[in-house]
Amino acid sequence: MQRLLARCELIYSKKQRDTICQVLEYAIEKHGDQRRVSGEPYISHPIAVANILIDLGMDYSSVCAALLHDTIEDTDATEEDIKKRFGEVITELVVGVTKLKRISFTSKAEEQAENFRKMFFAMAKDIRVLIIKLADRLHNMRTVEPLSIERQTALANETLEIYARLASRLGLSYIKCEMEDICLKVLHPTAYESLVKEVSLKRKERQIIVDKLCHTLRELMDEHKIAGEVSGRPKHFYSIYKKMNEKHKTFEQIYDLTAVRIIVENVESCYEVLGLIHSHWKPIPGRFKDYIAVPKPNNYQSLHTTVMTNYGTPFEIQIRTYEMHKIAEYGIAAHWKYKENSASVISEGEDRLKWLRGVINAQGEAAEPQELYESLKVDLYEGQVFIFTPKGDVVPLPEGSTPIDFACSVHSEIGNRCIGAKINNRIVPLETKLSTGDYVEIITSNNAKGPSRDWLRVVKTTQARTKIRAWFKKEMKEENIHKGKEMMELEAKRLGYALPSLMKQEWLDVVMHRYSISSIDDLYASIGYNGYSVHQILPKLIDFYRKEQKAKQPIKSAGTKRRSDVSGILINGEPDMLCHVAKCCSPVPGDEIVGYVSNGRGVTVHRKGCINIKYVDQKKLIDASWGAKRDNTFVVYLQIQANDKQNLVVDISTVISELKLSLISIVGKVDKNDMANLTIGVCVSDISEIDILIKKLQQLSPVRKVHRSSAT
C-alpha cells in the first residue's frame, strides 16, 4: 500500500492523489477481513492491479477503478454509493470490470461466451475497461499457485487463448509475455523447468557474445555520429517453447535466445543503422522484416534483421525509435490521453483502436454470444496478410480472407455493391484467397442486388459476416420472414411436430427474451438471414411442448396403466406402460433394449449392453422393444477425443447442423497432452442417424476417436 501511494506521489496531481487515497480507504473498509485463497488480505489484489496500471502509465481514474473493481460483487458496496462518492467516470469503469455474476446457461462454453460478450459491450463505452481487465488477469495468474490444479489449468488455458492474445493485439507486450510464461509454467511445468535450466546454463556464454556484439554496434554508431542505445534482450520462455514445438527443433537448434535491440531518435537513423549492420555482417536471406513501412496490426513498428556474426552464430537485431519502443512495450497504453473529467479518447490514438473498434461494432449484429466468442478467437488467432488498395494504402486482414472481406473492410456500401474483383489487374472469383502484397480492386455496380447468402460461407472476417447479415436484416425483411418460417416448419415436421403447436406465446416470450428478439416476425427474419439457427430455437420450444404434454397426463393410482412417456416403446408387446429411457446409456430406436421395473417409477428402458443392467435384480427385467410408431426424438451422448485445434467446436457444430440434427449440449476440457475431450448431446430419431453422425465426425482431421457415451 505504501509503495502504491509513494508512486502516485510522483505521477498524479494533489487533487488526483487525494481521490486515490479516499478510494483506497473505501476499498480497505469494504473488503474488511476478506482473504484470498492464499490467506493474504483480499485488498492486496486490487492494490497489485493498481500498481500494474501505474507501470503501464494509465490515468488516475483507471487506478481508482482497479482499487474498487471487486467491491460491487464481493462486498456490500453499491454502484449508487460509488457514484455518489467518486463520480460517474470511475463508477462506469468499476461497473465495466466488475466480475460477472453467475448466469444459468446450458453449457460452460455458453456462459464463457456470454461473459466475453458483456466485457466487449463494456469496452464499447471505455477501452480502459479491457486494460484494467488484463491487469486483473495478470495478477490472478501471478498468484495462481494456491488454487487447485484443475482451476489453475482452466485459468491458464483461458488466459493463453484469449487474454494474452488481446494483450498482443493491443501491443501490451509487457503483459502478454508475462502471461504466456506463467501459462507455460502451469500447463507444461516439466518443459518450463527444463527451459529455465537450459537458458540458465547458456546465459553466461551467450552474454559474453552479446556484450561483444553490442560493443561493436556502439562503435559503428559513434563512428557515424548516430545517437542511440544498444542492449541485449532475452527471449521469453514461451516464445522459445513455441518455436521448438512449431518448428520441431531442439533447444540447441534455437539460436536467437537473445536479440540485440537498438533504439535511435528518428526513422532515418533506423535505416542508416540497418545499412551499417549489413555492411559489417552478412545478413541471412529471408530474415529481414520492415515493420516500420508496414506496421503490425497492433501498430508495432521496428526493423528486424538476422545476421551471421563472426562469433559463429546468427543474431537477430531489432532497430526502432524511442517512440516505437514505447508502443512496442506498452501498446495502446503508451498513447493514453484523456481530456479533463472526460473518458473520450483524443484522436491521436484512434487509429490504434481500429481492430478493437471493428470487434465492438460487430456486437450489435452478432447472432449470439457463442458466435461472437468464436469470431473473436478467429480474429485473435489468425495470421495477417497485407493488401494494397488502388490508392496504395495497406489493409491488414486475417489469412484466408477474400476480396469480399477486403470490400467490406473498406466500406459497407462497397461490399453491398460488389459484383466482382481484380487481384493484380486480373479478374478473379470472389472466393479467391488473398496473399500479402496483392493489389485488389473491387468492381461495383449501382444496380447490384446486394450480397449473396453464399458469401457467408467464404468470408473470413467478423466484420464482413456482420455487414452481410446486417444487409439481409435491413433490406430483405419480408423475404427473410417467409424463409425463416418455412425453415422452422420443415424442421418441426422432420422432428414429428406441427409448428403451430409449438408457437405458444409464453414459450416464445422466454425464447425471444433469451436472444433479445422483439417479435415473432423478427424471430423468423433472423433465421431467414442466418442470424440464428433453427437448431438454436426449435429444441427450446419442443422442450416446453413436451413438458406441457407430460403435465397433462392424468395421475392414476399405483398399479394402473398410463400411456408411455416415450412414444413407440412396447413393454411386453404393450404400448400402455409408464416408461422412460435411462440416462446412463440413452437408448434410441434401433438399439436392442430391455426394461427394468422400478418401484414407483414404472419401467426404465436400457440398452441391452448397458453396464448398469449387470448389477440390478435380474427378476425385475422385462421385455422391451421398439414399436412401429415413433414420433419422439431421443438425446444421445457422444464422447469425442481430438487434437486441441482452433474452431474444433465450430467444425463439430457444423457437421451436426449439416445433418439437420439438434445440438443440445457440449462440454469438455483439454488434458495435459493437449487433447480435447468433449461430450456432446444430440437429438436423433434412430440409431442410423447416430452411425452417420459418428462417421462424419471421424472425418474431421483433428478427431481421433468418437463413441457413444453416458449423459454428463
Active site residues: 73-74
Crossing angle of the two packed helices 128-142 and 149-158, in degrees rounded to 10: 150
Residue pair 72/65 in contact by the 8 Å Cβ criterion = no
How far apart are the C-alpha atoms of 121 and 126, rounded to whole Å?
9
Joined grid coordinates for residue 132:
484494467
CA distance 334 to 58: 9
The helix or strand, by DSSP H or E, that contains position 607, with its residue range, turns out to be: strand 602-607
**Three-state SS for 679?**
strand
The angle subtended at Cα 328 by Cα 322 and Cα 330, nearest 5°, is: 100
Cell of 587: 437408448
Q: Which amino acid belongs to residue 515?
A: Y
Give the cell for residue 9: 506521489
What's the rounded Cα separation, in Å, for the pair 691 and 687? 6
- Are 100 and 58 spatial neighbours (Cβ–Cβ below 8 Å)? no
Q: Minimal CA–CA distance to 477: which of 523, 432, 426, 431?
A: 523
CB distance 334 to 326 below 8 Å: yes
C-beta separation of 191 from 73 below 8 A = no
Q: Is 275 exposed, middle or buried (0-12, 13-18, 19+ CB in 10 A)?
A: exposed
- Give the pairing of strands 418-423 and 440-444: antiparallel
